[in-house]
């Protein structure tokens, strides 16, 4: 067809991205404000999709990491690439830059050998690396805002203030030694402030499923992390006191360390108190505090609803009993008065006297009743009367006769 393989590969990637873009434009436009943020945020999007299907990231799960080079270009690492997606990546990168950010870029695939020799590929894993250059902004570095310093000594916040502002943060160096702990984590671990701590001794990485090494964490900087605290004496402490913290890992090049910023994974007040923490230990800017308070409000509303349902059931039972008593009263009135008169009496209406010009009245008596009673037992007399009146009632109902 007159096209080189590289051109076909690029066209395939562009078409592949266009199909995805047409179906998910709103989501893809919201991933990141820049091309670098797009690929770093895309990793978090993959993690969300995996979580939605009940899966977790493993050592072999695809992952993206996009870095800005000193000359202003971007270096995109695609770890554990899918075969089809890896084939289409160059075209997809160009299409994403053009469709979302209106940028014309050049994409060059860098071999792994070159990348490893530069020391920018931590860990031993399969990886595709792409160098992204903007046509208009190539070799132009981004200037820092006026008054911004690159010296760590010019930081206008002390360590103690930072630990109070972010109580659930920690920092560790390439040897996984903990350099800094927020007050919330320190209170949860109940550790000695002067004791040297290792990350593996204090925390487990719950998600993604990777080993707790500096190099492995660097590969997943764009992935949400969930870590779990360890208790020094697991035999005497309850497992309920173990707490999970969800957040992100941030590489700090000034000290070649990693900063973890997170929030506790608790949504109930009892869970928080059970871990020795209080609402005041969660900063006001953290949405976890609102989640807990909303949960308590929902719990109170649920308790009120249960009490209302119980009261409603009691009222329904009372109403049913009242209706049964009402029916008994109506039946009693009907047995004494004609049904029409009984209904008027029950409804509180005045019963008007009615005149009948032609009536037939039957007076009956049991002949020899006294003698019969003298020769029978009381139960025999009652049975005889019951059978007699039952026959009378049947004939009265059949002949529409009113019995007094």
Residues 61 and 26 in one domain: yes
Q: How many domains does the chain have?
A: 3
Is the distance from CB of 222 to CB of 41 less than 8 angstroms? yes
Does the pLDDT of residue 304 top 60, yes or no? yes
Alpha carbons 34 and 46: distance in angstroms, whole number? 18
* Helices then strands, each counted (H, E), the chain: 13, 10
Residues 98 and 185 in one domain: no
Q: Which tops the pLDDT comparison, 235 or 45?
A: 45
Residues 129 and 235 in one domain: no
| Beta strand segments in 213-253, E | 225-229, 244-252
Percent of residues, the chain, with pLDDT higher than 90: 30
Q: How far is CA 323 from CA 148, 167, 182, 326, in A?
A: 82, 63, 66, 5
Does the pLDDT of residue 138 top 50, yes or no? no
- Considering only CA atoms, which of 259, 260, 264 is closest in space to residue 286? 264
In this structure, is residue 311 part of a structural domain? no
Assign 148 a pLDDT band (cuts: 50, 70, 90): low
* H or E element at residue 210: none
Q: Coil, helix or strand for 219?
A: helix
Lowest mean pLDDT among 61-75, 109-123, 171-185: 109-123
Does the pLDDT of residue 353 top 70, yes or no? yes
- Considering only CA atoms, which of 139, 391, 155 is closest in space to residue 254? 155
Last residue of a domain, one of 238, 268, 298: 268
| Global pTM exceeds 0.75 | no
Is the distance from CB of 165 to CB of 180 less than 8 angstroms? no
Q: Which tops the pLDDT comparison, 54 or 235?
A: 54
Answer positive or negative: Cα dihedral of 35, 40, 41, 45.
positive
Instruction: For residue 245, give the CATH number of its domain.
Output: 3.30.450.260
Residues 106 and 164 in one domain: no
* Cross-strand pairs, 169: 261
In this structure, is residue 259 part of a structural domain? yes
Assign 294 a pLDDT band (cuts: 50, 70, 90): confident
Residues 21 and 88 in one domain: yes
Last residue of a domain, one of 76, 99, 134: 134
Mean pLDDT of 153-171: 87
| Beta strand segments in 176-325, E | 178-181, 203-207, 225-229, 244-252, 257-264
Residues 30 and 83 in one domain: yes
Residues 22 and 129 in one domain: yes
Residues 6+ apart with CB under 8 A from 109: 90, 128, 129, 130, 131
Host domain of residue 179: 159-268
Please write the tens of the pLDDT for every residue from 187-198: 888 766 677 889
Residues 6+ apart with CB under 8 A from 154: none
Q: How far is CA 183 from CA 91, 176, 336, in A?
A: 47, 19, 85
Alpha carbons 188 and 248: distance in angstroms, whole number? 19
In this structure, is residue 356 part of a structural domain? no
Assign 233 a pLDDT band (cuts: 50, 70, 90): low
In this structure, is residue 363 part of a structural domain? no
Does the pLDDT of residue 151 top 60, yes or no? yes
Q: Left if phi > 0, otherwise alpha if psi is -120 to 50, otherwise beta: which for 280?
A: alpha
Assign 121 a pLDDT band (cuts: 50, 70, 90): very low
Q: Which tops the pLDDT comparison, 10 or 404?
A: 10
Instruction: For residue 65, give the CATH number of its domain.
Output: 3.90.1520.10
Q: How far is CA 108 from CA 5, 131, 270, in A?
A: 15, 5, 54
Please write the tens of the pLDDT for every residue from 26-65: 988 988 889 999 988 877 777 767 666 666 655 567 888 8
Mean pLDDT of 161-183: 92
Mean pLDDT of 168-194: 87
Instruction: Give the per-residue pLDDT at 131.
Output: 93
Q: How far is CA 170 from CA 122, 135, 227, 257, 283, in A?
A: 22, 40, 11, 10, 16
Tokens representing 69 are 């080079």
Instruction: Give the per-residue pLDDT at 271.
Output: 85
Residues 129 and 10 in one domain: yes
* H or E element at residue 86: helix 83-101
Residues 105 and 190 in one domain: no
Last residue of a domain, one of 241, 268, 295: 268
């Amino acid at each position: 067809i007159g096209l080189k393989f590289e051109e076909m590969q690029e066209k395939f990637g562009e078409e592949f991205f266009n199909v995805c873009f047409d179906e998910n434009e709103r989501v893809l436009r919201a991933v990141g404000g820049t091309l670098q943020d797009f690929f770093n945020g895309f990793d978090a999007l993959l993690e969300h999709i995996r979580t939605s299907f009940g899966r977790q990231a493993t050592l072999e799960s695809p992952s993206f990491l996009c870095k800005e080079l000193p000359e202003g270009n971007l270096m995109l690492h695609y770890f554990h690439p899918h075969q089809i997606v890896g084939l289409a990546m160059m075209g997809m990168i160009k299409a994403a830059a053009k469709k979302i950010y209106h940028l014309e870029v050049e994409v060059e695939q860098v071999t792994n050998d070159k990348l490893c020799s530069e020391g920018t590929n931590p860990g031993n894993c399969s990886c595709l690396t792409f160098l992204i250059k903007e046509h208009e902004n190539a070799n132009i570095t981004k200037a820092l805002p006026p008054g911004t310093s690159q010296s760590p000594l010019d930081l206008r916040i002390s360590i103690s203030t930072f630990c109070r502002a972010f109580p659930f943060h920690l920092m560790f160096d390439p040897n996984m030694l903990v350099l800094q702990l927020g007050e919330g984590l320190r209170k949860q671990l109940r550790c000695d402030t002067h004791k040297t701590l290792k990350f593996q001794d204090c925390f487990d990485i719950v998600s993604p499923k990777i080993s707790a090494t500096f190099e492995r964490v660097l590969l997943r900087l764009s992935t949400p992390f969930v870590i779990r605290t360890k208790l020094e004496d697991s035999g005497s402490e309850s497992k309920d006191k173990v707490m999970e913290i969800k957040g992100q890992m941030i590489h700090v090049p000034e000290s070649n360390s990693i900063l973890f910023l997170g929030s506790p994974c608790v949504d109930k007040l009892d869970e928080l108190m059970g871990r020795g923490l209080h609402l005041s230990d969660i900063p006001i800017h953290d949405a976890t505090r609102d989640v807990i308070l909303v949960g308590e409000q929902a719990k109170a509303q649920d308790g009120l609803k249960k009490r209302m349902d119980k009261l409603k059931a009691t009222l329904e039972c009372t109403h049913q009993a009242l209706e049964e008593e009402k029916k008994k009263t109506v039946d009693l009135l009907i047995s004494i008065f004609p049904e029409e008169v009984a209904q008027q009496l029950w409804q509180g209406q005045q019963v008007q006297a009615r005149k009948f010009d032609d009536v037939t009245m039957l007076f009956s008596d049991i002949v020899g009743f006294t003698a019969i009673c003298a020769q029978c037992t009381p139960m025999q007399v009652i049975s005889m009367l019951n059978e007699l009146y039952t026959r009378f009632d049947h004939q009265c109902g059949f002949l529409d006769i009113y019995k007094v």
